[in-house]
A and B are shown apart, each in its own frame.
Chain A
């Protein structure tokens, strides 16, 4: 208990020092950093090129994970285009191997699997589309603290929609959920938040 309290006291001290610097960096970014990064779980999926994509694929680089689906006309394309721009902007402030890549975790495999390569390629060469079996998808979704739910098929057509998380997860090179970003993903602010967070992570945990 006394150890805990010491830690809390220390943290509050740190906060006093860090907060003013953070306030500038985080202006316009609504991000939640986990105080204890959480492993994303164990799953086996395939990316849009057909290569295996597991929890180990997340190691060694930063990843932004968006839960979505390819038959999404408005929000997913808008967010993917924004995230692509954000990582390009963050790339101006980071070493190339520190720049996060973007993963679309496609939760509607029936429609997503055949469309995934065309879909992610439309938004940028580094965007990775990932999908697979429902159970495996669910592990990764839970690992990034995301959620989704299928809508009902309408009587007049077999079209259905999918509700999905609004947030984007930031996964660290250790394969742990590190932070969650809430929309809107303002370009310059989100990019500088990422650059700042990633640089600070490296300083605190040299690899």
Chain B
């Protein structure tokens, strides 16, 4: 369908392209990275700028040297990386779209020829105003990774691996703060309960969790618990627990125990 649109809009507006002296869309740093031999996909990156004072929308992308081209965005969600289709993509007036590895990119599929570094690949972007913009992507070797600048390298988020913490604050307050820290550190908090007075247990997944639309994908995930130790006034991290079911059962059992003790 997208390809049909691309071709259709291409046919409709060939004349308009010649009529419009101003480029509808400016592109810079357009490159595609030389993939491994026989790869069926490869990524392209560019910086696009909408110089106009009104928004424009990219509705389709195609290239004569690939079977298909799509705008994608690599997104991390619940610990899984996936590529989401990113078309149509609207650029507001003056907006710049910087594509980069691990983010927005063009996915080219099934090359019709072999490429070499330095080759130029024509790519066409079909816009909603009927224009069809040609961008030439340069084929490049994969760049060598470099260290990020020091300023960007400092990660001030709390490290998730805290073994224990001493405090004299109220238990519930500490537990809430602790749960927030776990979340900030990338863990997901499954539940909290108080197995006995002045004790709090936070059940959490230490790592990113493979769930999709509410379905747990893995059959077993390792989970951990943080237990408030009254005697020591601190949290301690417990052993791995083997399944989401087990942790849910424990949380449920704990909640039941608490409601019983209160009644």
Whether A associates with B in a native complex is yes
**Chain A interface (Cβ < 8 Å from any Cβ of B):** 5, 8-9, 11-12, 14-15, 22, 26-36, 38, 70-75, 77-78, 81-82, 85-86, 111, 115, 118-119, 121-123, 141-142, 145-149, 151, 156-157, 159, 161, 163-167, 180, 182-184, 186-189
Q: Which residues of B contact A146 (CB under 8 A)?
A: 210
Identity of the chain A residue whose Cβ is nearest the Cβ of B109 in the assembled complex: A159
C-alpha gap A85/B143 in the complex (Å): 11
C-alpha gap A161/B101 in the complex (Å): 17
Q: Is the CB of B68 within 8 A of A38?
A: no
CB of A15, distance to nearest CB on chain B (Å): 5
Q: Which residues of B contact A85 (CB under 8 A)?
A: 144-145
C-alpha gap A26/B161 in the complex (Å): 11
C-alpha gap A84/B186 in the complex (Å): 25
Q: Does B19 contact A (CB under 8 A)?
A: no
Q: Does B258 contact A (CB under 8 A)?
A: no
Assuming A166-B208, A167-B207, A186-B148, is B82 touching A15 (CB within 8 A)?
Answer: no
Q: Which residues of B contact A22 (CB under 8 A)?
A: 159
Q: Which residues of B contact A189 (CB under 8 A)?
A: 147, 153
C-alpha gap A164/B43 in the complex (Å): 18
Per-residue contact bits, chain B 60-80, to A (CB 8 Å; 1 contact, 0 not): 000000001000101010011
Q: Is the CB of A145 within 8 A of B108?
A: no
Q: Is the CB of A166 within 8 A of B232?
A: no
Contact among B82, B107, B163, B186 with A12 in the assembled complex (CB-CB below 8 Å): B163
Q: Which residues of B contact A164 (CB under 8 A)?
A: 80-81
**Chain B interface (Cβ < 8 Å from any Cβ of A):** 1, 3, 33, 35-43, 68, 72, 74, 76, 79-83, 101-102, 105, 107-109, 142, 144-148, 153-155, 157, 159-166, 186, 206-208, 210, 212, 217-222, 229, 231-232, 234, 236-237, 239-240
Known: A26-B159, A30-B160, A35-B237; 9 extra A-B contacts, CB below 8 A, are: A8-B164, A8-B236, A36-B239, A75-B81, A75-B101, A81-B145, A115-B38, A167-B79, A182-B208
Chain A CB within 10 A, most for which of B72, B221, B222: B222
Q: Which residues of B contact A11 (CB under 8 A)?
A: 163-164, 236
Q: Is the CB of A165 within 8 A of B1?
A: no
Assuming A32-B207, A188-B153, is B41 touching A71 (CB within 8 A)?
Answer: yes
Identity of the chain A residue whose Cβ is nearest the Cβ of B2 in the assembled complex: A156
Chain B interface secondary structure, helix, strand, loop or mixed? Answer: loop
Contact among B76, B102, B166, B240 with A36 in the assembled complex (CB-CB below 8 Å): B240
Q: Which residues of A contact B166 (CB under 8 A)?
A: 12
Q: Is the CB of B206 within 8 A of A75?
A: no
What are 18 A-B residue pairs whose CB atoms fall within 8 Å in the complex?
A11-B236, A32-B207, A36-B240, A70-B39, A73-B43, A74-B74, A75-B102, A86-B145, A122-B36, A142-B220, A147-B217, A148-B210, A183-B76, A184-B102, A184-B148, A186-B148, A186-B153, A187-B145
C-alpha gap A18/B74 in the complex (Å): 36
C-alpha gap A146/B112 in the complex (Å): 35
Q: Which residues of A contact B79 (CB under 8 A)?
A: 147, 165-167
CB of B79, distance to nearest CB on chain A (Å): 6
Identity of the chain A residue whose Cβ is nearest the Cβ of B154 in the assembled complex: A27
Q: Which residues of A contact B231 (CB under 8 A)?
A: 5
Contact among B105, B147, B157, B161 with A32 in the assembled complex (CB-CB below 8 Å): B161
Q: Which residues of B contact A33 (CB under 8 A)?
A: 161
Assuming A28-B153, A82-B145, A182-B208, is B38 touching A151 (CB within 8 A)?
Answer: no
Assuming A12-B234, A163-B80, A166-B81, is B153 touching A73 (CB within 8 A)?
Answer: no
Assuming A122-B36, A166-B79, is B186 touching A30 (CB within 8 A)?
Answer: yes
Q: Is the CB of B107 within 8 A of A74?
A: yes
Q: Which residues of A contact B155 (CB under 8 A)?
A: 27-30
Q: Is the CB of A122 within 8 A of B37?
A: yes
Assuming A119-B39, A159-B109, A164-B80, is B154 touching A74 (CB within 8 A)?
Answer: no
